[in-house]
Amino acid sequence: MVAGKYRSICVLLLSAVCVLSEDYCASRSFDYDSGGLAGLEATCADCAGSSGCGFCLSTGACSAGDSSGPLDGSTCPTWIGDGASCPKEPVCDDHTDCGGCVSDESCAWCASEQRCLDLSEIFTSDCHGTIFDAPCPASWAPETRVVGDFILEPDALSGGGHLRSSGATFELLVSDEVISIVSASEVTITGGTTEGVNAEGGALVLEAGDGDLHQGGEGGGILFSAGASFDLACGHTAGGGVDFAAGSAHEGSGGHIQVLGGASCVGSGGGVTLISGYGGRRISGRARVEAASGGFLSLKTGSGKLSSGEVKLATGTADDAAGAMAIAAGLSRSGMSGRLAFEAGRSTTVPGDIVFYTGTNDASGSLCVSTADVCDGSPGDVVIQTGASPNSGAISMETGGAVDATSGAITFDVGSTYCREGADVILQPGAGIPGGSTMLHGGRGWCTDSACDGGGGVIARGAGAVTSGDGGSLDLRGGDAESTVGSAIVSISGAGLDQSGSVVLETHDSGSCGMSGAVTVATGNSLQKDSGSVSMSTGSTSKQSGGRIDIACGLSGGGTAAHVRIEASIFQPVLPASTRTILAVKLVLFTCALE
């Protein structure tokens, strides 16, 4: 009991210490909104130097934590856990020249005042000719201030009206928040042309401003927008276009165009979106990505440590008919046309799958795999094949299950041909030790509350002739063996709880003018050993009568009565051909009665 009481007191004391530590650290925060960075170094050192506290440079907050980060689990990319790592306040007044001033990253040289200023001070002072990086200019020309509008216009006789800079660098700086260039005609901004050997032409850089680092500001955007069209009378005038074209080359490669989303240290990178224009009454514009003159077109996501991105190709939704999607390889006029390949990603553990799904509603769509029709020549083949390996993959074809209706069927249908022999359907198991088997199973029968249905059967039959000729035959053969015994043909009925199934071997009834087919049971001939036997027997029973064997001939309606003949052969020595005779012993001969 006493130990439990002391444990509770310790927990309460620890909770009080955590609350006091959090309040103690929070009181040492820095307020960026107060203006300037004065006192930042002292506040950071006071916070990070206190036991159990740390300073977040991006927000100015002092909170409980250690060298690894805040204890409350919040994210701070600029966390300072010790006072020695706090930023030092610049001492720019110690620099007396431009070179020494700009060498300090926290200082900038004010040419109009000829002194070195702190970065936070130089933007709030009335300084002109600010220099941030080397090299420093040899001299500084004072600015010419124009109050009101500054207008350049050409002379009627001599022309002019241009703004030219003879220096190596020309800068147009606007201290206001917005710069606007307006013209009723074209506005052209061109990089300079160079004439040196292998010299590079002047680049054109359009760069938006950065957001404040400490305040977590948002960077400025760049908007390219063409002019709109307001033809209200006809409504057929198009809006202006926006074209991006890289420079051409005579012998080398032409310039490239690269569109990149912004990177992020902690969050997600910026996206890249290409969207065609919306149509108020008609369809939207087309979005087209094409490589010219046989160029390579690659569409892929970036690699990642955890998972790479996905590629999704989809058409938009519609109230009427949704757009179709076509993936087609290129046409060739003389050589082989383009190849279309779908390949899933490889992996050291689980490789990717390739899955095709059709659309769904009340009924799902159809999936069709077909080669193209041709007028002359042979159409292409359809090959479904798994890859080779020590244990190759299987091929499974099945239809979906059904609840209140019949499930879908599987049909193997070879195309018809005219005036020639029809093609075969071949089911070929794999070779091996032993070779694979071909198995055909009927569907299993299910029982409901009211009744039980039988299992499905396996039906094999030859096709009938359309107008003339014989019907197709059914040929069941065992496999041949080159050195041992050929395989057998076994026909066994199914087992049942009450009784087993029957085996029926019969020919179909004849037509109105012909005779019914015959049934022949015979073994093959033998050259050196005994020929095969024909055995007919019924099964044994332990309590009832054994099954009988009936041999009966059909009834005759008006002709000669049919007969049953059982004939056995005897030993026959080899005789000359001129004296060879057929010797037989007739064991049983009887004639069926006429009716």
Q: pTM value?
A: 0.49
**Per-residue confidence at 533, pLDDT binned at 50, 70, 90?**
confident
Q: How far is CA 34 from CA 37, 39, 462, in A?
A: 9, 11, 97
- Alpha carbon of residue 275 to chain centroid: 22
Helix (H) / strand (E) element for 110: namely: strand 107-110
Report pLDDT for 9: 37
Q: Which residues pair with 157 in a beta bridge?
A: none
- Checking 119-127 for CB contacts under 8 A at 24+ apart, the result is 119/90, 120/36, 120/37, 121/36, 121/92
Report pLDDT for 353: 85
Average pLDDT of the chain is: 75
The rounded distance, in Å, linking the Cα atoms of 444 and 167 is: 93
pLDDT digits (tens, 9 = 90+) for 142-159: 666 667 777 777 777 666
H helices, E strands: number in the chain: 4, 9
Q: Does residue 70 have a cis peptide bond before it, meaning omega lies within 30 degrees of 0?
A: no
Write the CATH number of the domain with boundaries 92-131.
3.30.1680
pLDDT digits (tens, 9 = 90+) for 169-201: 666 666 555 667 776 677 777 777 777 677 777
On the CB side of 522, CA atoms within 13 Å amount to 6
Of the candidates 85, 90, 80, the residue with the CA atom closest to the CA atom of residue 59: 80
* pLDDT greater at residue 168 or residue 58: 58
Whether 556 shows a pLDDT value over 80: the answer reads no
* pLDDT greater at residue 435 or residue 450: 435
Report pLDDT for 71: 86
The rounded distance, in Å, linking the Cα atoms of 353 and 137 is: 65
H-only helix segments in 172-220: none
pLDDT digits (tens, 9 = 90+) for 211-264: 665 555 677 788 878 777 766 555 567 778 888 888 888 777 888 888 888 887
- CATH 3.30.1680 in the chain: give the residue spans: 92-131
**Per-residue confidence at 368, pLDDT binned at 50, 70, 90?**
confident
pLDDT digits (tens, 9 = 90+) for 477-512: 766 666 666 667 777 777 766 777 777 787 777 777
Amino acid of residue 149: D
